[in-house]
Chains A and B, each alone.
Chain A
Amino acid sequence: EPEVTQTPSHQVTQMGQEVILRCVPISNHLYFYWYRQILGQKVEFLVSFYNNEISEKSEIFDDQFSVERPDGSNFTLKIRSTKLEDSAMYFCATTPQQNQPQHFGDGTRLSIL
Chain B
Amino acid sequence: RKEVEQDPGPFNVPEGATVAFNCTYSNSASQSFFWYRQDCRKEPKLLMSVYSSGNEDGRFTAQLNRASQYISLLIRDSKLSDSATYLCVVDRDNYGQNFVFGPGTRLSVLP
Q: Which residues of A contact B (CB under 8 A)?
A: 31, 33, 35, 41-45, 48, 50, 55-56, 58, 89, 91, 97-107
Contacts and interface: CB of A to CB of B under 8 A. Distances in A.
Contacts of B91: 99
B93 to A, nearest CB: 8
B44 to A, nearest CB: 5
A43 B49 contact: no
A98 B97 contact: yes
Contacts of A35: 101
Given A44-B101, A45-B100, A101-B49, A56 B95 contact: yes
A101 B34 contact: yes
Contacts of A104: 43-45
Contacts of B98: 45, 48, 56, 58
B24 to A, nearest CB: 15
| Interface SS of chain B | loop
Contacts of A41: 103
A97 B95 CA distance: 11
A56 B92 CA distance: 11
Interface residues of B, number: 25
A70 B43 CA distance: 25
Contact of B87 (A43, A45, A50): A43
Contacts of A31: 97
A91 B101 contact: no
B43 A105 contact: yes
A106 B39 CA distance: 11
A88 B32 CA distance: 27
A43 B44 contact: yes
A102 B99 contact: yes
19 contacts: A31-B97, A42-B87, A42-B101, A42-B103, A43-B38, A45-B98, A45-B100, A56-B93, A56-B98, A89-B41, A97-B96, A98-B96, A99-B31, A99-B32, A100-B96, A101-B46, A101-B49, A102-B99, A107-B42
